[in-house]
């Protein structure tokens, strides 16, 4: 007689680590794994086809590897006719069929999923054991202790604590090189000549499992945004390690210097094939492997530090990169769990405009937005400054409802999981959390984009102009943003310089800016922008 099932180990699409705490004490004779592909996860926001595909193929590769290891995996495919369509319904059905004594999982990556699973477990009268997610270097309780009693949270202080705790880039108790960060050396632009020949990141051509998934996504979600044609992401732990090595050797040496720079060779995102190297520049493209837990952040951090210690990359590059992972990535996760669920509904600037339709198509005369959205549609990828200072900045200046901006980011990027996407969007980019994440709103005029990219070359607008037929919409809306929120911004010492410049405007200038801003806002809601 078969033994009754003891533990059913729940593995979600962003928990693809066979060594996670969920498998501690796993007994192949008494325990089994449960996974389900469900349509709800692809439709609760209008998800990019490549994002749907990466989760599904990552899960199927994990399932096959687990079975090869001798683990029993109960797996519901999306194309199974009995598929109930939601995580909750699928889990409930599995509990009825398998009758496990207990459910075990590691902490979920989003609040909504965690609550849904808890509700099912309670309803079915099953104990749910949620174990700490060891993938992260800062447990949720440690972040709560860090936040306790502080009037204000700032990433920099958190980062220093993490560096000390993990002995990363330290000489004894002092930071290597005598400074905690080299941010000032991380803001170079390419100059008129551009970046020159770029290393083409290693590709991972779809294997039969991925090809099957790509066909399924194309058939099930044909009207969803984005393209599947350029899908070449690492989908297994082995491939993720190859991608890491490729980054360390090819792009890390220039990462620090050019991490804020943007560049386009020509308007080719809509061409076939689009230029890959240009999409990634010197960035790692490791976020998706990290977020699906195919790659351990400790391995990434150690590899970058070793490269510096061996004299192959500068301290500015190694530190700039490590700060993103040991600092920002851990910090935003801490913020998410510390402030949810209220965090999701914050709207500190009272923004109410809808998201312009061109965010989905990229069809706009504004060349910077056309490029970044075009690239996002082609690859499901844009680098940090493209997200923050192009698509994010424009939505902020336009006054788009932050929850609509959040849903767009959650939908459009292959690396989007709510714990990391939401604080970056709502907090860092839209300043909707009133300054929990960022000490001031990241606002700039078109001149910032002119300095950091070549997008403005050939654009029909002039980044220096705030009014007139060829005024840059970013520049018009930037001044209008300062006017609209002047009273609030005056309380922020970090906005003093920007407000001093505002004070120099005559009342005629102000009226002209406000009128032009209204026209831009109205135009943005039509497809002819």
**Site for ligand FAD, residues 278 to 307, rule: CB under 6 A:** 283-287, 290-291
Residues 331-370, mask of contacts with ligand SF4 (x by CB under 6 A): -----------------------------------xxx--
Q: How far is CA 398 from CA 374, 449, 512, in A?
A: 20, 17, 17
Annotate 494-526 with DSSP letters as a single string.
GGHHHHHHHHTS-HHHHHHHHHHHHHHHHHHTS
Does 241 bind ligand FAD (CB under 6 A)? Our answer is: no
Does 473 bind ligand SF4 (CB under 6 A)? Our answer is: yes
Cβ nearer to ligand FAD, comparing 94 with 325: 325
Picked from ligand FAD, ligand SF4, none, the partner binding residue 293 (CB below 5 to 8 A depending on kind) is none
Phi (first) and psi of residue 136, to 5 degrees: -85, 150
Cβ nearer to ligand SF4, comparing 449 with 495: 449
Instruction: Kindly state the tokens that stand for 191.
Output: 């100059």
Does 378 bind ligand FAD (CB under 6 A)? Our answer is: no
Pick from 230, 236, 377, 429 the residue near ligand FAD by CB under 6 A.
429
Does 524 bind ligand SF4 (CB under 6 A)? Our answer is: no
Instruction: Kindly state the tokens that stand for 296.
Output: 């351990």
Q: Residue with structure tokens 């369509």?
A: 85
**Number of Cβ within a 10 Å radius of residue 200:** 13
Q: Minimum Å distance from CB 452 to ligand SF4?
A: 10
Cβ nearer to ligand SF4, comparing 182 with 448: 448
Pick from 105, 397, 449, 452 the residue near ligand SF4 by CB under 6 A.
449
Picked from ligand FAD, ligand SF4, none, the partner binding residue 498 (CB below 5 to 8 A depending on kind) is none
The DSSP letter of residue 132 is P
Three-state SS sequence of 207-251? CHHHHHHHHHHHHHCCCCCCCCCCCCCCCCHHHHHHHHHHHHHHC
Which residues lie below 8 Å from residue 214, measured CB to CB, with a gap of 6+? 53, 57, 206, 228, 231
* 24-32, 264-272, 450-458, 494-502 -> range binding ligand SF4 (CB under 6 A): 450-458
Instruction: Kindly state the tokens that stand for 200.
Output: 């083409």
Q: Minimum Å distance from CB 103 to ligand FAD?
A: 27
Q: What is the dihedral of CA 284, 262, 203, 270, to 10 degrees?
A: 150
The DSSP letter of residue 327 is I
Does 392 bind ligand FAD (CB under 6 A)? Our answer is: yes
Q: Site residues (CB under 6 A) for ligand FAD?
A: 283-287, 290-291, 324-325, 328-329, 332, 383-384, 387-388, 392, 409, 413, 415-416, 420-421, 424-425, 428-429
């Amino acid at each position: 007689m078969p033994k009754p099932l003891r533990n059913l180990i729940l593995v979600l699409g962003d928990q693809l680590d066979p060594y996670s705490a969920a498998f501690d004490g796993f007994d192949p004779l008494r325990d089994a794994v449960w996974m389900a592909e469900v349509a709800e996860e692809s439709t609760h926001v209008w998800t990019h086809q490549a994002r749907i595909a990466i989760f599904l193929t990552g899960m199927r590769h994990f399932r096959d590897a687990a079975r090869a290891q001798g683990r029993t995996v109960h797996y519901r495919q999306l194309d199974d006719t009995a598929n109930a369509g939601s995580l909750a319904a699928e889990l409930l059905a599995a509990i009825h069929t398998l009758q496990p004594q207990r459910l075990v999982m590691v902490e979920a990556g989003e609040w909504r999923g965690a609550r849904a699973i808890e509700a099912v477990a309670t309803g079915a009268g099953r104990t749910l054991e949620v174990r700490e997610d060891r993938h992260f270097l800062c447990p949720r309780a440690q972040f709560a202790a860090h936040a306790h009693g502080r009037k204000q949270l700032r990433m920099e202080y958190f980062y220093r604590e993490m560096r000390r705790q993990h002995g990363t880039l330290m000489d004894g108790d002092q930071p290597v090189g005598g400074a905690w960060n080299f941010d000032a050396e991380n803001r170079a632009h390419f100059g008129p000549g551009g970046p020159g020949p770029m290393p083409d990141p290693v590709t991972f051509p779809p294997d039969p499992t991925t090809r099957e998934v790509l066909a399924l996504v194309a058939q099930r979600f044909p009207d969803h945004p984005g393209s599947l044609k350029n899908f070449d992401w690492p989908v297994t732990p082995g491939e993720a390690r190859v991608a890491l090595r490729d980054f360390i050797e090819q792009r890390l040496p220039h990462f620090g210097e050019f991490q804020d720079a943007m560049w386009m060779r020509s308007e080719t995102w809509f061409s076939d094939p689009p230029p890959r190297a240009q999409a990634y520049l010197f960035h790692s493209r490791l976020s998706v492997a990290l977020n699906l837990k195919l790659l351990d952040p400790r391995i990434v951090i150690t590899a970058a530090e070793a490269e510096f210690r061996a004299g192959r990359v500068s301290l500015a590059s190694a530190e700039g990169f490590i700060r993103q992972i040991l600092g920002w990535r851990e910090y935003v996760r801490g913020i998410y769990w510390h402030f949810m669920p209220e965090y999701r509904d914050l709207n500190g600037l009272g923004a109410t405009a809808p998201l312009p339709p061109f965010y989905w198509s990229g069809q706009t005369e504004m060349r910077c937005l056309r490029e970044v959205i075009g690239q996002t549609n082609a690859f499901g990828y844009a680098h940090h400054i493209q997200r923050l200072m192009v698509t994010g900045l424009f939505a902020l200046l336009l006054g788009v409802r932050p929850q609509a901006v959040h849903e767009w980011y959650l939908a459009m990027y292959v690396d989007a999981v709510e714990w990391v996407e939401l604080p970056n969007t709502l907090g860092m980019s839209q300043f909707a959390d009133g300054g929990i994440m960022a000490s001031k709103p990241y606002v700039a005029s078109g001149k910032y984009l002119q300095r950091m990219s070549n997008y403005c070359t050939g654009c029909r607008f002039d980044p220096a102009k705030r009014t007139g037929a060829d005024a840059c919409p970013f520049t018009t809306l930037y001044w209008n943003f300062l006017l609209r929120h002047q009273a609030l911004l005056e309380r922020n010492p970090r906005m003093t310089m920007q407000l001093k410049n505002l004070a120099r405007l005559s009342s005629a200038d102000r009226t002209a800016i406000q009128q032009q801003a209204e026209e831009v806002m109205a135009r943005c809601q039509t497809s002819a922008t």
